[in-house]
Amino acid sequence: MNPAIPNRQRRLKIRKGGVNSKINLLSLGCPRNLVDSQTLAARLKLKGAKFARCAEKADTVIINTCAFIKEAKEESIDVILDAIELKKQGRIKKIILSGCLTQRYPQELIKEFKEIDAIVGRLQLDDSVNSFSLTPKHYSYLKICEGCFNTCSFCVIPKIKGGFKSRSIDSILEEARLLDKKNILELNIIGQDITSFGLDVAAKPLLAQLLSAILKETKNIKWVRLLYLNPLRIDNDLIELIKENKRVCKYIDLPIQHASDRILRLMNRKITKDKIYSLIKRLRSQIPDVAIRTSVIVGFPSESEAEFKELLDFVEEIKFERLGAFIYSREEDTEAHDFSGQIPESVKCKRLDILMRQQQEIAQGYNASLLNKDMEVLIEEYKDNIYIGRSQSDAPEVDGCVFVKSKEKLDIGEIVKAKITQTYEYDLLGEKIPS
């Protein structure tokens, strides 16, 4: 078996998908993949397709796979095996694969899984406006670009997604207006690197210009969130726009990946620790109450104990409000795959544990600073006699949540004000402030 196709134990997991009957669409991986799934569903719907909420009620299961890192590939294989088991039991008739895993390993998948009926690659980004949604009614994702310019040595995205491409501003604004008419409260603008938007068609990034146009063209959308901002291309225009407009979430998604200059060079990140530090200092000084989310990689090839300690010290000094950490995943077709000094898995896992224990304390301290403060909360769920929502500082399905007690009935998708009465490591508890 190809090493990219792990021999995983076959487990049955029925996952939620589309709506109504016949086709069950499973979307794995990141929100960008979810947008692709929405586009695929919209095209199928135009051809008369119907959808089922679970695989057991469908004739055909379509799995939109992910292949970004080892764990994503393993999850995709698990879900494929589950679907194959359902097919063997006669509970579904066809299995179709799409997305990143099929883009990377089409022949291996065809050879390994004889039960698969069809394989298609990734969807090409175009200027079509999508009206199909797989998200809750109160928020949505808007993809503005595809691919990547950055050629980080550890990343396989350019191999899967191809070169960077921006959508046209007209098509983006048309989709934003459509979502606004649907009373979407939160618009999450996404792409592999949205700060590169426009670089393929203009001499400079156009994200600030695009964001300004979206804000002018919409009125019902209350929160606009920017997901993935490359530290190389955050300019003063963008900072000023985030600062001045109340509808733009004071949330900066800023993956730094590491804090050692040598490791950053090996990663081909084209930035230094000092420049990262200066940018964060500027963001915090110019945008009051900003929440900065970052992601870092531990166990990159040849990362020494001293360089890992340098990363720990940097994280401790900066005290990121939100942080996600990943073990380095050695991916074929990347430059770093052939680097010397590959770190043993046990060492990578130990370093991840140390970092996340440190971040847990940092996050707990940040949340403690919010005690007795008032904040807006977007209500998303009601469970066990308490409402569950998110603040502007929490991206959907990524960050923590805010539990809200309320004597009055609240609507799902409503934004309310709550006073924080208790804090935890990653979550908050508050009471709704009477209207």
Helix, strand, coil share of the chain (percent; to 5) = 35, 20, 45
* pTM of the complete model beyond 0.75: yes
Q: How many Cβ atoms from other residues are within 10 Å of residue 255's Cβ?
A: 18
User: What are the CA-CA distances from residue 26 to residues 14, 17, 33, 432 (Å)?
Assistant: 10, 5, 10, 36
As a whole number of Å, the end-to-end CA separation of the chain is 61
Radius of gyration of the chain (CA): 22
CA 373 to chain CA mean position, Å? 28
- DSSP lists the bridge partners of residue 61 as 24, 95
pLDDT, position 160: 87
Residuewise pLDDT in 10s, the chain (435 residues):
343 434 333 333 333 443 334 899 999 999 999 999 999 998 888 888 888 888 878 899 999 999 988 899 999 999 999 999 999 999 999 999 999 999 899 999 999 999 999 998 777 778 888 778 899 999 999 999 999 988 999 999 888 888 899 999 999 999 999 999 999 999 999 999 999 999 999 988 999 999 999 999 999 999 999 999 999 999 999 999 999 999 999 999 999 999 999 999 999 999 999 999 999 999 999 999 999 999 999 999 999 999 999 999 999 999 999 999 999 999 999 999 999 999 999 999 999 999 999 999 999 999 999 999 999 999 999 999 999 999 999 999 999 999 999 999 999 999 999 999 999 999 999 999 998
pLDDT, position 17: 40
- DSSP lists the bridge partners of residue 58 as 22
| Residues 173, 217 contacting (CB under 8 angstroms) | yes
- Pick from 398, 391, 383: nearest CA to 415: 391
Crossing angle for the helix pair 207-217 and 169-181, to the nearest 10 degrees: 30
3-state secondary structure 230-251: CHHHCCHHHHHHHHHCCCECCE
Query: Nearest-5° angle of CA 175, CA 401, CA 27?
Result: 50
Cα 431 to Cα 419: distance, rounded to the nearest angstrom: 5
Task: Find where tokens 């991840």 sit.
Answer: 352
Which amino acid, 196?
A: S
DSSP string of 275-323, one letter each residue: HHHHHHHHHHHHSTT-EEEEEEEES-TT--HHHHHHHHHHHHHH--SEE
Cα 72 to Cα 156: distance, rounded to the nearest angstrom: 13
- DSSP lists the bridge partners of residue 25 as 62
Longest dimension (CA), the chain: 61
Q: How many Cβ atoms from other residues are within 10 Å of residue 47's Cβ?
A: 6
pLDDT, position 149: 86
| Residues 106, 122 contacting (CB under 8 angstroms) | no
pLDDT, position 131: 77
**DSSP assigned state of 435:** -
Length of the chain: 435
Strand, helix or coil for residue 325: strand
pLDDT, position 394: 98
Crossing angle for the helix pair 305-318 and 273-286, to the nearest 10 degrees: 10
pLDDT, position 82: 93
